Amino acid sequence: MSGTFSYLAYGLGIETPIPLPELVAGEETGGEIRINFGHVDQPPSEALDKGWDCFSPPLKEDCLFWPGVGSFLVREGKDIIVDPSPTVDEKMLRLFVLGPVLAILLRQRGNLLLHASAVTVADEAVLFLGSSGWGKSTTAAALHARGHGLVSDDVAVLQVGESCPIVFPSFPQLKLWPEVLLALGDDPEKLPQWNPHLEKRARTAEHNFSPTPLSIRRIYVLDEGNDNAPEILLLRPQEAFLRLVRHTYGSDYGLQPAMGVGSDSHFRQCASIVNEVTVCSLRRQKSFSQLPDMVRLIEKDLSQSR
């Protein structure tokens, strides 16, 4: 791991000594985000056998540790110091840098992160919100197969301010289980594993991918339906707010303090989105046979909401 690499992700330039081939290559500009190797203090002895996070408000500084992976210092929304374990595999190190470590940096910059996948429909973003295993990536992949561009897989990074909320595209990759790929007509054996410990595969999704931030058209919360056809129901503002809070990234990863989950600013951001964006429940069976009907229903719903 040597040299310097330049990438674009989430609307930001990234300069790093770690190759991150999942990202879109960018020109060497100094980068709003800088990743470097360096020493990071180890956690207390009682935390050595598990993941560890030390949040230090108002300094905007977080220390993280995972056994066998390494320690990380995230500072002021722009610097990441990586102190890798001597035995860590480079691919595994990338997973953590591009996952929770980068997520905390983006939160330090004031963004709201939702556990969601997103695609483009008519130059606007459509988000699919849900817990792990509820089909966010599958839904995004099915719409991507219909010609819609991918915005982000699994984590959606939103900027919420005085204007309408926007979402920043991440990188053109979907993480899919082999059975999902087979249902979509792909051969999982021809795709690399996303994580050495999981059967999920990494599939590039460069068609119609653009790093330009997008306004948010609609948010669908994935819910379980009955055996009938999928349906879409408008959520009341209070229920929509609770769903956004529940599915904020980090709420189920033990990173609540670092991600600001439950803070006043977090609640204000979720309330602002509910006031600006329509939030619906997308009820369906987690069945591949319902995928075509679900995609057509989403496209019809969006066409009728103009």
pLDDT digits (tens, 9 = 90+) for 106-138: 999 999 999 999 999 999 999 999 988 889 999
Domain identity same for 142 and 267? yes
Confidence at residue 226, expressed as pLDDT on a 0 to 100 scale:
76
pTM: 0.91
Domain identity same for 160 and 263? yes
Neighbours of 117 (CB within 10 A): 30
Measured CA to CA, the distance from residue 222 to residue 214 in angstroms comes to 21
Domain identity same for 87 and 230? no
CB-based contacts of 256, cutoff 8 Å, min separation 6: 250, 262
| Residue 1: pLDDT band with limits 50, 70, 90 | very low
Classified as helix, coil or strand, 34 is strand
Q: Which residue would you say has higher pLDDT here, 279 or 44?
A: 279
Measured CA to CA, the distance from residue 145 to residue 185 in angstroms comes to 10
Residue 260 pLDDT exceeds 70 = yes
156-159 and 166-168 beta bridge pairing: antiparallel
Domain identity same for 127 and 182? yes
Measured CA to CA, the distance from residue 52 to residue 62 in angstroms comes to 10
- Report the CATH number at residue 293: 3.40.50
Confidence at residue 44, expressed as pLDDT on a 0 to 100 scale:
66
User: Which among 47, 81, 109 is the end of a domain?
Assistant: 109
User: Which among 53, 76, 109 is the end of a domain?
Assistant: 109
Residue 51 pLDDT exceeds 70 = no
Residue 59 pLDDT exceeds 80 = no
| Residue 150: pLDDT band with limits 50, 70, 90 | very high
End-to-end CA distance of the chain: 49
Measured CA to CA, the distance from residue 158 to residue 168 in angstroms comes to 6
Q: Which residue would you say has higher pLDDT here, 125 or 31?
A: 125
Domain identity same for 105 and 122? no
Domain identity same for 16 and 139? no
What is the domain count for the chain?
A: 2
Residues 182-231: pLDDT tens digits? 999 999 999 999 888 889 999 999 888 988 999 999 999 999 887 778 99
Confidence at residue 104, expressed as pLDDT on a 0 to 100 scale:
93
Domain identity same for 127 and 239? yes
Angle between helices 237-246 and 264-276 (to 10 degrees): 130
Domain of 97 in residue numbering reads as 5-109
Domain identity same for 245 and 129? yes
Domain identity same for 120 and 95? no
User: Which among 62, 94, 109 is the end of a domain?
Assistant: 109
Q: Name the percent of the chain lying above pLDDT 90.
A: 71
Domain identity same for 265 and 118? yes
Domain identity same for 281 and 156? yes
Measured CA to CA, the distance from residue 107 to residue 195 in angstroms comes to 24
Domain identity same for 285 and 161? yes
